[in-house]
Amino acid sequence: MKPTLDLLTAWATEAGELIARLRGDQLVLDYKPGNELVTNADVAADQLITDHIRRHFPTHQILAEESASKLQDIADLNGPLWIIDPIDGTVNYAHGHSHVAVSIAFYEHGVPQLGVVNAPFQQETFSAERGKGAWLNGQPIQPNKVAVMKNALVGTGFPYDKVPELPLLLARLETVLRNCADIRRNGSAALDICWVACGRLSAYYETVSLWDCAAAQLIATEAGAHYGHIWPPLNGLPTSMASENLLVTNPYLFDELQTLLAEQ
């Protein structure tokens, strides 16, 4: 048996329904080192998805934020690899916002083959299969056609611990505010990238973890967005595994925005 998009969609939907059910008076908040919020729903959704994977594909590798978050030697993992963010947008989730997603990616040969990002409170499922296309609730998606930087709506986000990177974060913000139409900080990197893929944002940049962007990366590239980095990835990581200094744009803005952001 091989993983299929239907299987990933079913598991992401089931996890989305679980986190929607758990929000409310069953919610338990906790903090990881670095003041990073985690809830009982993050852990429960992680367990639900990783249990499914282990039962169906016991030999496959898993990288999952809450249960198997080691990134070392990930570039060597050419075999079947699952990359899971059980809740992307935990801060939104815990505050009752709707911009929240479950993200499941399946990689082989170091590149994503299947990706699903399910937003349970928005009843939207983004999905993609390598070489076959990208969809929102089953309909094909494409990026917008904004070709002039001053008309571009740009998404970004910030790390939990903002202090060490503050000068760089502020310099990049200033550049975007000077050159683009406006900025959004919506609180889910996976959805930000999917929103570039479907034309709701013209561009997105941020340094994140691989589970934030693994599934959305395939959705963006299959939709026809330009997915890359502000600076070349560190340690020679391939684009598909490198999650620092991400830059995702519609087909028109990548080079110009990359130059602007790399100057900071």
- Which parts are annotated binding residues for Mg(2+)? 65, 85, 87-88, 212
Is residue 85 a contact point for ligand IPD (CB under 6 A)?
Answer: yes
Please give the residue ranges that form the binding site for Ca ion (CB under 5 A).
65, 85, 87-88, 212
Is residue 88 a contact point for ligand IPD (CB under 6 A)?
Answer: yes
Nearest approach, Cβ of 189 to Ca ion (angstroms)?
A: 6
The option from Ca ion, ligand IPD, none interacting with 249 (CB < 5 to 8 A, set by class) reads none
Residue nearest to ligand IPD (CB): 157
Minimum CB distance to Ca ion smaller for 88 or for 129 = 88
Q: What is the 3-state secondary structure (H, E, C) of the chain?
A: CCCCHHHHHHHHHHHHHHHHHHCCCCCCEEEECCCEEEEHHHHHHHHHHHHHHHHHCCCCEEEECCCECCCCCHHHCCCCEEEEEEEECHHHHHCCCCCCEEEEEEEECCEEEEEEEEECCCCEEEEEECCCEEEECCEECCCCCCCCHHHCEEEECCCCCCCCCHHHHHHHHHHHHHHCCEEECCCCHHHHHHHHHCCCCCEEEECCCHHHHHHHHHHHHHHCCEEEECCCCHHHCCHHHCCCCEEEECCCCHHHHHHHHHCC
Where does this chain touch ligand IPD (CB under 6 A) — which range of 156-164, 216-224, 230-238, 244-252?
Answer: 156-164
Q: x/- site string to ligand IPD, residues 163 to 192, per CB under 6 A?
A: ------------------------xxx---
123: exposed, middle or buried (C-beta count within 10 Å: 0-12, 13-18, 19+)? exposed
**What is d(CA 151, CA 235) in angstroms, rounded to the nearest whole number?**
35
Is residue 66 a contact point for ligand IPD (CB under 6 A)?
Answer: no
Nearest approach, Cβ of 156 to ligand IPD (angstroms)?
A: 8
The answer to whether 250 and 257 are in contact (CB under 8 A) is: no
Residues in the annotated binding site: 65, 85, 87-88, 212
Minimum CB distance to ligand IPD smaller for 7 or for 41 = 41
Is residue 208 a contact point for ligand IPD (CB under 6 A)?
Answer: yes
Minimum CB distance to Ca ion smaller for 85 or for 192 = 85
Is residue 68 a contact point for ligand IPD (CB under 6 A)?
Answer: no
Minimum CB distance to ligand IPD smaller for 6 or for 36 = 36
Where does this chain touch ligand IPD (CB under 6 A) — which range of 24-32, 68-76, 87-95, 110-118?
Answer: 87-95
Size of the site for ligand IPD (CB under 6 A): 14
Contacts with ligand IPD by CB under 6 A lie at 85, 87-90, 157-159, 187-189, 206, 208, 212
